[in-house]
Amino acid sequence: MKIGSLEHRDTFCSHFASTYLDYDPEALPWPVLDEAALQRLRQVPFWEEVFYSERRAGAIVAAFTETVSDPVLKEALALQGEEETRHAKLIRVMVERYGLDAPERPIDDLGTDIETSFKDFGFGECFDSFVGFGLFKIAWQSEFLPREIMQIFSMLMYEETRHIVFFINWMAYTEARKGWLARTVSPLVTLRYYLRALHYKIRFARRGQKVNDGKNLAAIQVGMFLDGFNFRRFLEDCYAENSRRMSVFDPELLRPSFLPQLTDVALKALRLWGRRAELETRSGPLPPLYGAHPGSAATRQPESS
């Protein structure tokens, strides 16, 4: 299937529509939580942010849908907008039901260029979902909350996975339709949007630090689920969960590949580092490597030993 063809458009749009889940957040099987589970749920520091992000997501996707003329894309985008709005409703139902601290903040300006806002939102979702896959797996395995409520979040994760698969295909389709130049620079465009997404996340984490008395919000979030947090294990969980969740989608569709590839490289480096550190603890410092090119990293002496 040629990326950018009408066949491509019809495939990713019809796949998105055919995997739609029909439910009403009010009618979901919300469990009665005991006091300990209720406390754990209330301790989660990001409900206000999640509630806000879902409401903003619904507004961005709806506003962008208005500007799209292709009827097939418009219909699929309208469905995504409805799903984002339903996510906000789901969070609202949960906040009210369990008395969580998540006041409704007014939505910031959506930006003057709604297409750019939609792309920023889409790449941000790819970023959040990849990290969310790892967090969710840790929370699931540590039985942080009862299974019934985790099943509801699991459905939400599935919908977010559908959104990012749809978005990556929409992005590739849109870029490919612009011609060979846009196709050639497309990886650079992707990189630019991921860097912007990273920038927004760092800004958000800094804001969170202030709110949480200077403690790191991300560390608090992960630390809540797992004592003795291990960064390599977390990356491995993100990577493995991403592969597992993506495996259920039509193999013909594109998937987000930037973060999984970057993580794969980082994990290989961390494993190598870990193996060397392990050998050094067992047998002392390792001898230099012979046969390496003079001046290469392998022949340089460590600065301190």
Query: Which one, 163 or 255, has the nearer CB to Fe ion?
Result: 163
Closer CB to Fe ion, residue 54 or residue 241? 54
Give the up-direction half-sphere exposure of residue 137: CA atoms within 13 A in the CB hemisphere: 18
CB 218, min distance to Fe ion, A: 20
Q: Shortest distance, CB of residue 121 to Fe ion, whole angstroms?
A: 8
Considering the complex, state which of residue 119 and residue 163 has its C-beta at the smaller distance from Fe ion. 163
Give the whole-angstrom CA distance, residue 18 versus residue 20: 6
User: Burial, 214: exposed, middle or buried (Cβ in 10 Å; 0-12, 13-18, 19+)?
Assistant: exposed
Secondary structure (3-state) at 195: helix
Complex with Fe ion: residue 70 or 82, whichever CB lies closer:
82
Q: Which residues contact 82 (CB under 8 A, 6 or more apart)?
A: 58
Q: What per-residue string of b and e applies to 135-145 under the rule 16 or more CB within 10 Å gives b?
A: bbbbbbeeebb
d(CA 76, CA 91): 23
Closest distance to Fe ion from the beta carbon of 203 (Å): 20
Binding site for Fe ion (CB under 5 A): 54, 84, 87, 160, 163
Instruction: Name which of 84 and 237 has its Cβ closer to Fe ion.
Output: 84
* Cα distances (Å, whole numbers) of residue 257 to 181, 264, 305: 21, 10, 39
Residue for token digits 């970023």?
127
Nearer to Fe ion, 4 or 57 (CB): 57
Least Å distance, CB 2 to Fe ion, is 27
17 φ, ψ (degrees, to nearest 5):
-70, -40
In whole angstroms, the minimum distance from the beta carbon of 227 to Fe ion comes to: 29
CA distance 153 to 146: 11
Shortest distance, CB of residue 211 to Fe ion, whole angstroms?
22
User: Least distance in Å: CB of 195 to Fe ion?
Assistant: 21
Taking the C-alpha atoms of residue 131 and residue 134, their distance in angstroms, rounded to an integer, is 5
Q: Which is nearer to Fe ion, 165 or 172 (CB)?
A: 165
